[in-house]
């Protein structure tokens, strides 16, 4: 297979007469056999341009998609279902990006630093760490007492004692107090939930780490959980199929995830009551998306919105059960 390269232009592009991927003679800006671009980039600036374009659809797609998702979700969903896709980020790609962004923002703004867990091979709990820290502090104090008796300098050991004391203060700020542990009466007859509650009581950092990890890992499960519930709103319709409902659900989850990001950022900026947005924005968004996607009247969209809110709650419960089953099973 021979590819002919005529020249490398000043713009950093190569100029071929045959596709560099499959060797097909070129007609137009893309190979009609394999779809590769006719001219490839060979500059550092072009490399980063391709990176931005590939990850964020930098050349306009994200900026067409997000405003539509926020203000005209039904129009966006219907356009994508009908095949008008070149201007929009696909629902699945946007969902994955939204979930990643939500967890990244959560780690930065949630104020949950006290739950931060750094997994280690020995799996020590906060209580074990504190016991070891107290034992080390006792040894350091004993060393200091011996140095005093020997009339030697205690400067180095004093610094070690101060550092160890600070470490114990940090551990105490992360762990619940003994009174909180003694007074904890939350129990469950469900073994999985009971195990998770016990993990929270003895090692809250580990429990929170597990919850975040499995919630992120299984976030995709919200889509197949939600689609059958949405189908129940149109059980006898031949116009709409499971594919339509899947696109609807995925774009809807994208918006709800991005709404969570906005709420977290608003709370971090000082608007403590930003969570109130969750009471009003989701129903409004569902209503507009239902009307635009399925060409519903006001009454049809209203009762389906109320039903969809119930179904969304059910889907979240099922998803929580999936995550708890994974978290509590370890």
Token reading at 30: 């893309």
Residues 222 and 76 in one domain: yes
Asked if 282 and 161 sit in the same domain, the reply is: no
0.75 surpassed by pTM? no
pLDDT tens column, 225-263: 999 999 999 988 888 999 999 999 999 999 999 999 999
45-54, 198-207, 278-287, 314-323: segment of lowest average pLDDT:
198-207
- Rounded CA separation 108/136 (Å): 33
328 pLDDT band, cuts 50/70/90, is: low
Quote the DSSP letter at residue 4: -
Of 305, 204, 316, 210, the closest CA to residue 257 belongs to 316
Pair (73, 178) in one structural domain: no
As a whole number of angstroms, the longest Cα–Cα distance in the chain is 93
Question: Do 85 and 132 have their domain in common?
Answer: no
Q: How many CB atoms lie within 10 A of CB 282?
A: 18
Place of tokens 């609807």: 248
228 and 307 share a domain? yes
**What's the chain's Rg over C-alpha atoms?**
28
| Segment 160-208, tens digit of pLDDT | 888 878 777 766 665 555 555 444 455 555 565 566 666 566 666 666 6
In SS3 terms, 225-246 reads as HHHHHHHCCCCCCCCCCHHHHH
Range of lowest pLDDT (41-45, 149-153, 284-288): 41-45
Per-residue model confidence (pLDDT) at position 170: 66
Q: Does residue 251 lie in a domain region?
A: yes
Our measurement of the distance from residue 305's CA atom to the centroid of its chain's CA atoms, rounded to an integer in Å, reads 26
* Between 32 and 258, the higher pLDDT residue: 258
81: how many CB neighbours lie within 10 A of its CB?
A: 19
Q: DSSP 3-state helix, strand, coil percentages of the chain (rounded to 5)?
A: 65, 5, 30
User: Residue 116 — very low, low, confident or very high, per pLDDT cuts 50/70/90?
Assistant: very low
Mean pLDDT of 15-35: 81
pLDDT at 314: 93
The neighbour count for residue 265, using CB atoms within 10 Å, is 14
Average of per-residue pLDDT across 293-307: 95
Question: What is the distance of C-alpha 234 from the center of its chain?
Answer: 30
> What pLDDT is stored for residue 62 in this prediction?
83
The reply to whether 199 falls in a domain is no
What integer is the mean pLDDT of 20-41? 80
Q: Is residue 48 part of a domain?
A: no
Distance (Å, whole) CA 305 – CA 290: 8
Element (H, E) at 47: helix 44-56
Task: With beta carbons less than 8 A apart as the criterion, state whether 21 and 15 touch.
Answer: no
How confident is the prediction for the chain on average, in pLDDT? 79
154 contacts: CB under 8 Å, gap ≥ 6: 144, 147, 148
Q: Is residue 216 part of a domain?
A: yes
Q: Does the pLDDT of residue 320 top 80, yes or no?
A: yes
Look at residue 15 and give its three-state secondary structure.
strand
Taking only the tens place, the pLDDT of each residue in 211-223 is 778 888 889 999 9
Q: How many domains does the chain have?
A: 3
Q: What mean pLDDT comes out for the span 275-288?
A: 94
Residue 157's Cβ-count burial label (10 Å; 0-12, 13-18, 19+) is buried
The Cα–Cα gap between 266 and 287 comes to: 24
- At 330, the pLDDT band (50, 70, 90 cuts) reads low
- Residue matched to tokens 């179904």: 311
Residue 138 resides in a domain: yes
- pLDDT digits 0-9 by tens, 80-113: 999 998 889 899 999 999 999 998 888 887 654 4
pLDDT on residue 212: 77
Q: How sure is the predictor about 313, in pLDDT bands with cuts at 50, 70 and 90? A: very high
For the ranges 21-30, 47-56, 299-308, the maximum mean pLDDT occurs at: 299-308
Segment 109-118 mean pLDDT: 49
Give the domain range for residue 31: 5-42
Q: Are residues 107 and 218 in the same domain?
A: yes
CA distance 20 to 25: 10
DSSP-derived 3-state class of residue 273: coil
Are 283 and 146 within one domain?
no
Say what the pLDDT of residue 187 is: 56
231: in domain: yes
Q: State whether 132 and 95 are in the same domain.
A: no
What pLDDT score does 68 carry? 95
């Amino acid at each position: 297979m021979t590819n002919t390269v005529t020249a490398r232009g000043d713009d950093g592009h190569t100029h071929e007469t045959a596709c560099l991927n499959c060797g097909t003679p070129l007609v137009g800006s893309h190979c009609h056999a394999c779809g590769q671009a006719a001219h490839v980039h060979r500059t550092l600036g072009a490399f980063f341009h391709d990176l931005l374009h590939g990850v964020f659809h930098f050349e306009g797609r994200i900026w067409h998609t997000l405003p539509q998702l926020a203000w005209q979700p039904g129009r966006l969903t219907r356009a994508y279902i009908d095949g008008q896709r070149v201007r929009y980020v696909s629902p699945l790609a946007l969902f994955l990006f939204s979930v990643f962004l939500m967890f990244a923002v959560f780690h930065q703004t949630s104020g949950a630093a006290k739950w931060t867990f750094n997994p280690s091979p020995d799996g020590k709990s906060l209580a074990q760490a504190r016991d070891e820290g107290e034992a080390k502090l006792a040894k350091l104090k004993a060393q200091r007492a011996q140095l005093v008796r020997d009339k030697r300098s205690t400067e180095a050991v004093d610094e070690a004692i101060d550092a160890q004391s600070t470490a114990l203060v940090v551990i105490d700020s992360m762990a619940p107090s003994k009174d909180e542990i003694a007074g904890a009466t939350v129990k469950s007859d469900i073994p999985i939930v009971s195990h998770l509650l016990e993990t929270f009581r003895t090692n809250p950092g580990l429990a929170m780490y597990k919850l975040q990890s499995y919630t992120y890992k299984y976030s995709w499960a919200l889509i197949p959980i939600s689609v059958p519930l949405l189908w129940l709103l149109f059980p006898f319709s031949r116009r709409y199929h499971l594919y339509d409902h899947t696109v609807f659900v995925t774009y809807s989850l994208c918006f709800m995830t991005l709404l969570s990001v906005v709420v977290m950022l608003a709370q971090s900026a000082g608007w403590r009551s930003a969570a109130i947005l969750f009471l009003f924005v989701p129903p409004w968004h569902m209503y507009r998306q239902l009307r635009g996607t399925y060409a519903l009247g006001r009454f049809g969209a209203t009762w389906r919105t109320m039903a969809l809110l119930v179904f969304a709650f059910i889907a979240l419960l099922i998803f929580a059960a999936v995550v708890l089953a994974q978290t509590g099973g370890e």
